[in-house]
A and B are shown apart, each in its own frame.
Chain A
Amino acid sequence: MQWLDAIIQGVLLGGMYAQYALGMALMFGVMRIVNIAHGDVMILLSLIAVTLAGVVPVGNLGLILLVVPIAVALGWVLQKFILNKVVGADPLPSLIATFGLSIALQNLMLEIWSADTRSLPSSGIASESFNIGPIYVGLLPVIVLICAFCITAGLDGVLRFTRFGRGLRAAAADTEAAAMAGVNPKKIYATATAIAVGILGLAAVFAALRATVSPADGPAQLIYAFEAVIIGGMGSIWGAFVGAMVLGVAQAVGLRIDPGLGILFGHLVFLAVLAGRPQGLMARK
């Protein structure tokens, strides 16, 4: 029963990681843009959410409705003014540009918000739970998991069946050939990054409800997102979801073995996947 509990808690934790990872799956998995500032952007959005919550009393749902549009706008600006200048066959320029952005963001956040940890007053949701048999399940993690599932399904559907999705897959496969077929790659990429960061906006609110955030927390979230995408398989949206579950379960099981082992166990599973199935669990080939 202890292990079943670990797996359930791991899946719920995976829901949070999936929200970090979906934007990464879109940018890194599909567009092959390495965004080192992914975690820092999320922390920035969390801190904006915390500050907003202190200024306007809108409740959690209202806060999501405020932060997600800010995130979408931030993503669009990020792509338009930074990433579109460095995107190309060579991943190095985008890596260096976003690495610089990551450091700049961390210092900017430190300047504005100080190094204090902050969180959102969760008005009970974070502490509510219900029982499934003998196992306690938190309400907030279940909501996070359901949201992650719905976003994954929605994003996968958008990529498969919409004009935007086809354009994005085409541009990711061969940017120049996509332009020859009438696709404007820069516009498609700006929209994709806006979506990716928009999802991060939702994740940011949940992260601040669930635990505390501080300006230096970004890189850890970045690693989880990277690991989820690579475990699942590059370019597969459902792969990122599954990868996040695997990572969450590995951490929860490791935690049960020894309280110090949780995070390490996640990394070990990631390394095992890299060694045994480097293309990822859900990759087509």
Chain B
Amino acid sequence: MSEPILSTHALSGGYGDFQALFGVDMHIDPGEVIALIGANGAGKSTFLKSVFGMLPVAKQMVRFDGADVGGTPAHKMVRQGLAMVPEGRRLFAGMSVEDNMRVAIDNARLPEDQGQWTRDRLFDLFPILGEKRREMVENLSGGQQQMVAISRALLCQPRVLLCDEISLGLAPKVIREIYAVVPEISAAGTAIVLVEQDVSLAKSASNRLYCMLEGRITLSGASGEISRDEIATAYFGGSHAVA
């Protein structure tokens, strides 16, 4: 098998004196979808931020496409082929839907006409965004904002897409709509890391699954082969296991 597109090696880190990650090993192959589940405070978002160069980590802790890249600033990681849909969407308020997208296009790994993703393709995928392309993003609904956030990340033309809780705060129908695009993204060869709190959603959308507890990986394996009991143990810790 070829080398993973992204891997972490004993990744440790956190915020200043507070350590949130303790030796996390993880890898993802091109076109693969992995889910990272865990309770609040397990370190999932910290993990994504550490991979993306927003928290200080040692260089050899993160490997991307065969090179050590740990601690490289986020804007440089984008050029290498990493993109993120941040928790809470974090769109650029005061800017239109299309201008939000164009910020990503301006700084993408590849020009729009050479990449997988174009505005037209995304407007096909999310027709409502085509209608609202001149609308200010703060006037959109939560689901529509999430679509803009995903579009913005895809227009960076990533080889690995990190998605931080993209279902958070959305109606079930909207969540289904948004998760419906995951296979289309991975079919294009883009690897996807899904950080999720919704375990069944994470299981059904991914090839492999990692469970995190208190900054450590407590379970990993093929999503279809892991039982709910195993997940419950890994999710809450042994002493809190529930049937």
Chain A contacts to B: CB under 8 angstroms: 163, 166-167, 169-170, 173-174, 176-185, 235, 284
Contact flag A170-B92 (CB < 8 Å), given A177-B86, A180-B52: yes
Contacts of A176 in B (CB 8 A): 54, 74, 86, 90
Contact flag A166-B99 (CB < 8 Å), given A177-B86, A177-B91: yes
Partner of A182, one of B79, B90, B91: B79
Contacts of A235 in B (CB 8 A): 94
Among the 9-residue stretches B35-43, B100-108, B121-129, the one with 4 or more Cβ atoms under 8 Å from chain A is B100-108
Partner of B78, one of A163, A167, A182: A182
Complex Cα gap A169–B153 (Å): 17
Residue pairs across A and B with CB atoms within 8 Å: the count is 74
Within B63-83, the residues touching A (CB, 8 Å) are 73-75, 78-79, 83
Shortest C-beta distance, A182 to chain B (Å), equals 3
Complex Cα gap A182–B74 (Å): 7
B94 touches A173 (CB 8 A): yes
Chain B contacts to A: CB under 8 angstroms: 52, 54, 73-75, 78-79, 83-84, 86, 90-95, 99-100, 102-104, 106-108, 152-153, 156
A174 touches B90 (CB 8 A): yes
B91 touches A180 (CB 8 A): no
Partner of B107, one of A169, A174, A183: A183
Contact flag A167-B94 (CB < 8 Å), given A176-B54, A181-B156: no
Shortest C-beta distance, A197 to chain B (Å), equals 24
Contacts of B74 in A (CB 8 A): 176, 179-180
Complex Cα gap A176–B73 (Å): 11
B54 touches A179 (CB 8 A): yes
Partner of B108, one of A166, A170, A173, A182: A182
Give 3 nearest A-B pairs by CB, closest first.
Answer: A182-B107, A182-B78, A177-B90
Contacts of B86 in A (CB 8 A): 176-177, 180
Complex Cα gap A182–B72 (Å): 12
Contacts of A174 in B (CB 8 A): 90-93
Shortest C-beta distance, B91 to chain A (Å), equals 7
Q: Which residue from chain A places its CB closest to the CB of B85 in the assembled complex?
A: A180
Interface centre among A170, A180, A185 (most CB of B within 10 A): A180
Complex Cα gap A183–B156 (Å): 11
Contacts of A170 in B (CB 8 A): 92, 95, 100, 103
Contacts of A185 in B (CB 8 A): 75
Shortest C-beta distance, B48 to chain A (Å), equals 10
Complex Cα gap A176–B86 (Å): 10
Complex Cα gap A167–B90 (Å): 15
Contact flag A181-B152 (CB < 8 Å), given A167-B107, A169-B95: yes
Complex Cα gap A173–B52 (Å): 20
Contacts of A169 in B (CB 8 A): 92, 94-95, 99
Contacts of A163 in B (CB 8 A): 106
Contact flag A178-B103 (CB < 8 Å), given A183-B75, A184-B75: yes
